[in-house]
Amino acid sequence: MDADGLVALVSSYNPHSDTAKIAEAYAFGDEMHAGQVRQSGEPYFTHPVAVAELLARQKLDDATIITALLHDTVEDTKARFTDVSERFGEEVAYLVDGVTKLTNLQLSSTETKQAENFRKLFMAVSKDPRVLLVKLADRLHNMRTIKYQRPEKQAQKARETMDIYAPLAGRMGMQWMREELEDLSFKVLNPEARNSIIRRFIMLQRDSGDVIDSITGDIQKVLKKAQIKGEVFGRAKKPFSVWRKMQEKQKSFSRLADIYGFRVIVGSEADCYQVLGAIHARWAAVPGRFKDYISNPKANGYRSIHTTVAGRDGKQVEVQIRTRQMHEVAEAGVAAHWSYRDGVRAENPFAVDPAHWIRALSERLDETDHDEFLEHVKLEMYQDQVFCFTPKGDVIKLPRGATPIDYAYGIHTRIGDSCVGAKIDGLRVPLWTRLKNGQQVEIITAEGQRPQPTWLDIVVTGRAKSAIRRSLREEDRERFIKLGRELARVAFEHIGKKATDKALATAARTLGLAEAEDLLARLGSAELTARDVVGTLYPELAAAPQGEVVEESRAVVGLPEGQISTRAQCCQPVPGERIVGITYRGQGVIVHAIDCPVLVDFEEQPERWVDLRWHSGPHGAVHTVSMQVAISNDAGVLGRICTLIGEQKANISDLHFIDRKQDFYRLLIDVDLRDVEHLHMVQTALEADSDVAEITRVKNVDRKP
């Protein structure tokens, strides 16, 4: 599209547009990108023009169109922020800068970095959501032309689009864009599945004729009989939408219902309900498939009535019923706030405040950690909603699959923390019950109640998960601080340093934590490793040991040439402990700890003693150590003990009970470890648990070689 074509397109919906400024932006962008080409071989500027055209067809304002034309100039050309600001104004310059920052965010990078980049994304978008509109249009055009990219690049972009940009488009209410982004990504990620669905649609049409036309005609007859004026549109659902339903419901294509969707657009809200009644009078409604988003609109302003009926030949079809104004918001979503009609900004009563949905996503996120932030945002973007009522009749919106605990935290954190039970429509239900649309929920609370760890497996909302984790962290904080302090002491001593209060406070600040106790708590809860803490202050000392890992065959130094060694089971020595060898005919050298009681038997045989030491390098082999542990006889204690050992990167190779009492168990646990420091870390972790009464290392003097 040339400059005249773009100007004409914008003028068609906004006669008062500053066409001269749009033409100037077109010329400026063309000049800045001169000589640059896309992977397809086309001039690069065809891409910004295509993005601008996409947004113009959404009838957006001049600033957004100009931003689209210039969105790559600051990043990819000699143009600077000040150049754009001086020629096109601060509003456009800041929009271009916002798009540039979004482009530079690697949203598909590692989890921690991804979470931080999501924070930056929401900060940028919250200032002006038009930044995201331009970025989504940019991504859509790139996906439409993705075939020119390398296969590995296609896969990376398609996955990022499927995981991030498509849900964002849906969250903004731009459902058409979400569906196209998903389908374009599906075409790259699973072309065989997509082609198979397309083939099934072709076969279905060949076998049963044009289903869409016939059902559209049936609905039009219903409207005519009810004397309601309206338009009816039908379409087959996108291949990815069909594929997702097949996966979720574990059904084949032939058994899948509602693969066709129909839309009825009428003049008023009252007409919507009249159409609903007429359709239900003509066809049987499918139970559980009715949603009224007119009385309970979505956060992005979406309003419509959804119902599924058994139509012609028993085929299930979904029907959406809405007014023209509702339809405009359904098509444009949050973008409806900036759209024009007949030269003026459209006054659509259903268009939401653009910042509202941003606040809904990012509310209270400053209180969460990086991983919790990412989890919260993804949950909010992906999940559909259910609407439940409080006993007073207020509506609480929650993601699909939410439980009474999610509902309680949706009201207030204090209600969630003290929740002990729930009633749905007056009947007591378990806390893991999944809520449904229209239910009245009452939360039962008790003073002194605290969140339970098992709740994390029950709830689905990011807000509830974050609050539960925070409460559990505070409850265990003292125990974790004690364990963290011991782990820090060992780690610092290992490199010849001391874990002073000043050192810990400095490390905490470097890691972005408020105080040393926060660092120790995270260290004790395995959210940080000792190497992370030491590395902030002494990176050269904390670096991984140089050289290759010592194999088991070279673990012991000082063996006579040609001799092999075996580790004694009586004392189970590990690297880091002083050792000595005793020679046995036909068995080589048996390696004992220097304080092993068995050595007394060889005091009169000095010729059998061999002076040995462990290799100083990092040991790759594991060494089994037996520990006797006494734990409380309470539910969940044994599982937690096993988890604590696993968190220290140690493996349990054997476990059996040696004593069972009403109040405690005594266990013998064989743990595979690297060295004495590793052993000390495991013992410290277990000793810090309040349900561990005793822990001792077992050295079986009766197990002589």
Residues 6 or more apart whose Cβ sits within 8 Å of residue 90: none
Q: Residue 140 and residue 320: Cα distance in Å, rounded?
A: 26
pLDDT at position 209: 61
The residue among 12, 18, 25 whose CA lies nearest residue 52 is 25
Grade residue 704 by pLDDT with cuts at 50, 70 and 90. very low
Q: Which of 76, 163, 369, 691 is catalytic?
A: 76
Amino acid 546: pLDDT: 45
Average pLDDT, the chain: 81
Measure Cα distances from 114 to 101, 110, 120, 370 in Å: 14, 6, 10, 9
pTM, rounded to two decimals: 0.54
Q: Which two tokens stand for residue 565?
A: 């060694």
The number of residues making up the chain comes to 705
Where is average pLDDT lowest: 89-103, 419-433, 676-690? 676-690
Least confident of 422-426, 491-495, 543-547, 595-599: 543-547
CATH T-level assignment (fold) for domain 623-697: Alpha-Beta Plaits (3.30.70)
Q: Kindly report the CATH number that applies to the domain delimited by 3-192.
A: 1.10.3210.10
> Which H or E run includes 447?
none
> What is the average per-residue pLDDT within 80-87?
90
Residue 591 neighbours by CB under 8 Å, 6+ apart: 556, 565, 566, 567, 568, 573, 579, 580, 581, 612
Q: Is the pLDDT of residue 337 over 70?
A: no
pLDDT at 362 over 60: no
CATH of domain 204-345: 3.30.460.10
pLDDT tens string 407-435: 999 888 899 999 999 999 888 888 989 99
| Interval 606-623: pLDDT, tens | 888 888 888 876 666 678
Nearest to 424 by CA among 435, 414, 432, 415: 435
pLDDT single digits (tens) 325-334: 888 888 777 7
76 is catalytic: yes
Residue 397 has pLDDT above 50, yes or no: yes
What pLDDT is attached to residue 176? 86
Active site residue 75: yes
pLDDT digits (tens, 9 = 90+) for 186-210: 999 888 888 888 887 777 666 656 7
Residues of the chain with CATH 3.30.460.10: 204-345
Query: Which range is least confidently modeled, 97-101, 140-144, 149-153?
Result: 97-101
Which residues of the chain does CATH 3.10.20.30 include?
A: 383-458
Give span(s): CATH 1.10.3210.10, the chain: 3-192
More confident residue, 702 or 129: 129
One of 18, 24, 75, 183 is an active-site residue; which one? 75
pLDDT higher than threshold 50 for residue 547: no
Confidence at residue 701, expressed as pLDDT on a 0 to 100 scale: 41
Q: Which CATH class is domain 383-458?
A: alpha beta
